[in-house]
Amino acid sequence: MNMLLTLADAAPFPYTFNPAHTALVVIDMQRDFIEPGGFGASLGNDATRLQAIVPTVRRMLDAWRAIGGLVLHTREAHRPDLSDCPPAKRLRGQPSLRIGDVGPMGRVLIAGEPGVEIIPELAPLPGELVVDKPGKGMFYGTPVDDLLRERGITHLLFMGVTTEVCVQTSMREANDRGYECLLIEDGSASYFPEFKAAALAMLTAQGAIVGWAARSAAVIEAIT
């Protein structure tokens, strides 16, 4: 679809985008964060709060795929030797499992392990971009910027988890690189609902200082 569309109900003001130059970004919808017994649950979090957005993310994916839109999936994943996982990240806090430890889904957040895989309901299709990232943001240590620019992408629609950590970090990184970003707010979640609300307010403050936000129904209506 190559035409300008406008989401009139986006916050803080209407968001205009061309689907032909827009990518749908799905951040870290992987087993270690979403499923019971994963790394997220091992930190004491309630994984059901993240599971709740899966149907919304799937509906948005289906609608975006139907118009031939570009999809980018990210996974937080480290090398097996942990050479890209600094001690400042691995040794933080007192979790029952640390990155690289063996858990119920294999080694935690290690590339190629079962827990790193995107949940089956949202599995990438052939031709969709899948990028493993060693940090919270999707640009750090990855080829994401090159992959998007060589495809003529200027706008990004974000979904995924968690809103205040990897999603917000990726949106801020994208904003610094000149992309026009929108958060699909009901397609993103946090283990802490108050953190999601705060992140949403920060992203859209001061005239979309980082980007816009809108509901998935508005985006689906616009593209269909």
Which residues carry out catalysis? 28, 133, 166
106-110, long-range: CB < 8 A, 24+ apart = 107/80, 108/32, 108/39, 108/42, 109/32, 109/39, 109/76, 109/77, 109/78, 110/77, 110/78, 110/79, 110/80
Where are the alpha helices (H) located in the chain, listed in sequence order? 31-34, 39-42, 48-51, 54-66, 87-90, 144-149, 168-176, 193-208, 216-223
- Give yes or no for a contact between 142 and 111, defined as CB atoms under 8 angstroms apart: no
Rounded-to-integer distance, Cα 73 and Cα 152, Å: 18
